[in-house]
């Protein structure tokens, strides 16, 4: 499998919110390992950041269980939880932990769930590949740029407003939309709950953000590490100084947490009822955790330590 396939899929028109993985053919005698042949649907939605990992898993799983149809949507973390807490999906991918109000919505609708971590991400801050003046940004500078009215009460921020030696040109900002868990995380650790700069162009589709930043020399934006890795020829990552000097996002700095405060875990949430009542849902969850490290690395994210996957597989088995 090639990781650029998943980004090409995710880059389809935003009207296409789900890609369904299925293989044709007749009845099978079992999976690749000779296990029980399963059939039915598995419905996944949520984070566009997590999407490439689970879509890679769904494609591989089709070879194991060709009569199981796994559909993977990318309506954003918030949009995914809205469906999940109504019982409309089996899995909800998320680039942040579930919020209290979302937990309450699930409880009111009788939805029990379990949280599983599947990878690490480093929320990456990007500029145009020809930007030759931004060597790094501090967390305070990043906050100043992206917070509404933080520079002289104006949302039109110039590079020279941040450092006098930088160009006297307006910064064109790009940000995930408000339904995105990536925005929620950025809001928490950078904006500190302050309103986002009103000039920022928003999209839940990370590929739209890639195109926006790649198309303007004065652009500045952020999104998940895998989308940066996939577009390194078009974009340049900005090292971030969280207090211990500038750190660039890499597999090593993300897994160690050195890339602070922008390193974060990625999640999928699973309906306990679906796990117990639908053999294909349990089996896909098991397949995802057993192969999570491979899928995470394949699409450009950072695998968890093996013991973390093993620990979660035990938790999954207890829920069966």
Name residues whose C-beta falls within 8 Å of residue 164's C-beta, 6 or more positions apart in sequence: none
Closest C-alpha to 146, from 193, 216, 99, 214: 193
Sign of CA dihedral 86, 90, 96, 98: positive
User: ω before 81 within 30° of 0 (cis)?
Assistant: no
190 burial (CB, 10 Å; 0-12 / 13-18 / 19+) is buried
pLDDT tens track for 215-225: 999 999 999 99
Q: Residues 32-57: what's their mean pLDDT?
A: 89
228-286 pLDDT, tens per residue? 999 999 999 999 999 999 999 999 999 899 999 999 999 999 999 999 999 999 999 99
Question: Does the pLDDT at position 25 exceed 90?
Answer: no
Whether the model clears a pTM of 0.85, i.e. scores above it, the answer is: no
Beta strands in the chain (DSSP E): 18-21, 40-46, 68-73, 91-94, 113-122, 124-128, 137-138, 172-176, 201-203, 219-223, 235-237, 240-241, 246-247, 263-271
Instruction: Quickly state the pLDDT bin for 2 (edges 50, 70, 90).
Output: very low
Asked if residue 74 lies in contact with residue 10, where contact means CB atoms within 8 angstroms, the answer is: yes
Q: Report the share of the chain in percent with pLDDT over 90.
A: 83
> Which domains does the chain possess?
40-120+265-319 (3.40.190.10), 122-263 (3.40.190.10)
- Determine the Cα angle at 192 with ends 188 and 196, to 5°: 95
Q: What is the C-alpha separation between 72 and 300, in angstroms, rounded?
A: 18
Q: Has residue 21 got a pLDDT over 60? A: no
Q: Residue 63 pLDDT > 70, yes or no?
A: yes
Output the CA–CA distances (angstroms, integers) from residue 24 to 37, 65, 69, 80, in the order listed.
14, 11, 10, 28
pLDDT in tens, 162-174: 999 999 999 999 9
**Adjacency order of strands within the sheet including 240-241:** 137-138, 240-241, 246-247
Q: Are strands 201-203 and 91-94 parallel, antiparallel or unpaired?
A: unpaired
Judged against a pLDDT cut of 90, whether residue 36 lies above it is answered with: no
């Amino acid at each position: 499998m090639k990781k650029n396939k998943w980004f090409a899929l995710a880059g389809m028109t935003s009207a296409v919110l789900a890609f369904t993985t299925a293989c044709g053919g007749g009845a099978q005698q079992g999976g690749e390992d000779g296990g029980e042949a399963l059939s039915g649907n598995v419905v996944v939605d949520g984070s566009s950041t997590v999407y490439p990992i689970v879509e890679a898993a769904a494609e591989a799983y089709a070879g194991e269980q060709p009569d199981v149809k796994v559909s993977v949507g990318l309506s954003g973390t918030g949009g995914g939880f809205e469906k999940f807490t109504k019982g409309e999906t089996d899995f909800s991918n998320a680039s942040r932990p579930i919020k209290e109000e979302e937990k309450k919505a699930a409880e009111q609708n009788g939805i029990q769930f379990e949280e599983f971590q599947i990878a690490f991400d480093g929320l990456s801050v990007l500029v145009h590949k020809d930007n030759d003046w931004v060597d790094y940004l501090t967390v305070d500078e990043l906050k100043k740029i992206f917070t509404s009215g933080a520079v002289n009460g104006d949302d039109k921020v110039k590079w020279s407003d941040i450092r006098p030696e930088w160009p006297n040109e307006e910064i064109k900002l790009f940000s995930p939309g408000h339904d995105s868990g990536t925005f929620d995380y950025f809001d928490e650790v950078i904006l500190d709950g302050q309103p986002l700069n009103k000039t920022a162009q928003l999209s839940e589709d990370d590929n739209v953000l890639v195109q926006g930043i790649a198309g303007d020399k004065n652009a500045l934006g952020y999104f998940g590490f895998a989308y940066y890795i996939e577009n390194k020829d078009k974009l340049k990552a900005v090292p971030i100084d969280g207090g211990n000097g500038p750190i660039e996002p890499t597999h090593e700095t993300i897994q160690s947490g050195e890339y602070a405060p922008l390193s974060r875990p990625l999640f999928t949430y699973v309906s306990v009822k679906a796990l117990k009542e639908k053999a294909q849902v349990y089996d896909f969850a098991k397949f995802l955790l057993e192969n999570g490290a491979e899928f995470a690395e394949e699409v450009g994210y950072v695998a968890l330590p093996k013991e973390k996957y093993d620990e979660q597989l035990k938790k999954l088995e207890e829920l069966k």
